[in-house]
């Protein structure tokens, strides 16, 4: 296989579509992450590319956040914070 056909596993930069595939999200979601400054990208050229290392860092950050939220949820459940019936708030 030629480098243009095979996946970009050996390249430092990947395109939006490949980043979306690796994150398991849509390309438009990746673009929104870039616009929000949550996913840095080199600004050279007209094609948006993302450094593989930045994508790995982003995925690790998201995984850490999810793990912390899971821990907080488990602690809240152990404390019985979810045992009471929901309270209806009046406006």
Residue 10: per-residue pLDDT: 52
Residue 1: per-residue pLDDT: 36
Residue for token pair 């990208």:
41
Question: Quick one: which H or E segment has residue 13?
Answer: strand 13-15
Q: Can you give the residue ranges of every domain in the chain?
A: 13-78
pTM value > 0.75: no
**pLDDT digit string (tens) for the chain, length 91 residues:** 333 434 445 568 999 999 999 999 999 999 999 999 999 887 666 678 899 999 999 999 999 999 999 999 999 888 887 776 767 767 6
Task: For the domain made up of 13-78, give the CATH fold.
Answer: Multidrug-efflux Transporter Regulator; Chain: A; Domain 2 (1.10.1660)
DSSP 24-79: TS-HHHHHHHHHTTSS----SSSS-EEEHHHHHHHHHHHHHHHHHHHHHHHHHHHT
Instruction: Please work out, in degrees rounded to the nearest 5, the angle formed at the alpha carbon of residue 17 by the alpha carbons of 11 and 61.
Output: 75
């Amino acid at each position: 296989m030629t480098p243009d056909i095979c996946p970009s596993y050996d390249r430092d930069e990947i395109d939006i579509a490949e980043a979306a595939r690796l994150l398991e999200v849509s390309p438009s979601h990746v673009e929104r992450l870039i616009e929000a400054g949550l996913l840095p990208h080199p600004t050279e050229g007209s094609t948006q590319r993302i450094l593989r290392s930045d994508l790995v860092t982003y995925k690790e950050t998201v995984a850490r956040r999810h793990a912390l939220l899971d821990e907080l949820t488990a602690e809240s459940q152990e404390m019985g914070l979810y045992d009471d019936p929901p309270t209806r708030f009046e406006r």
